[in-house]
Structure 1
């Protein structure tokens, strides 16, 4: 994809490009992200992963948690989501808090 992102939707069994082709956000690895498979968050749960895409038109953003995608509402989260950042989102009822995580702390190293 040469450092670009394309948003596509399926229409009558064909994929159509919706929106413009833009430069990918820093921190997001190249690949295909099936965010259409995203599910709603469950109350009282905590989600740790990278924010993949922010859809301001529909007031939602997508977070990759392991191999799954979670669809969060922008107005439910205290804090500003930034695409490409690793975050922890903790729900307490309908409201959630967003906390940036340090990816370097979470990586393991091998000493020789």
Structure 2
């Protein structure tokens, strides 16, 4: 999408653009992210690691890609919104507490010998 972000909803058997078309955050690779398939996060001693894709303030949700799954977290569970386009670890502890840790995904480097 030429570095742009488009949010679409499926209504009345067709996809409709919701919101503005704007520049995608740094760290999010171009592609189609089917966040409508997101599962609500389990909050009983569970951890999720992955990329923060979107913060939907209207719905009060934070969307994260954890491996090949999409997870939604309640925005009001965070003391401050997580950084979009960054890899984070979100740890739930006994339904009440949530801790957020940023981490860097190791890059694959190839060494060429001549």
TM-score normalised per structure 1: 0.90
Q: Specify the SS of the correspondent of 1:75.
A: helix
Consecutive unaligned residues of structure 1, counting only runs of 5 or more, are none
Displacement after TM superposition at 1:79 (Å): 4.2
Alignment size in residue pairs: 110
**Residue in 1 aligned with 2:88?**
87
1:78–1:98 Cα change, 3 Å: farther
1:97 matched to 2:99? The reply is yes
The 5 A counterparts of 1:28-107 are 28-42=28-42, 43-92=44-93, 93-103=95-105, 106-107=106-107
TM-score normalised per structure 2: 0.88
RMSD: 1.5
Q: Specify the SS of the correspondent of 1:29.
A: coil
For 1:88 and 1:79, locate their aligned partners in 2 and report how far apart those are by CA, in whole Å: 15
Contact 1:87 1:100 in 2 (8 A): yes
For 2:9 and 2:83, locate their aligned partners in 1 and report how far apart those are by CA, in whole Å: 23
Q: Deviations over 1:73-101 (max 9, x none)?
A: 11112443111000000001133111111
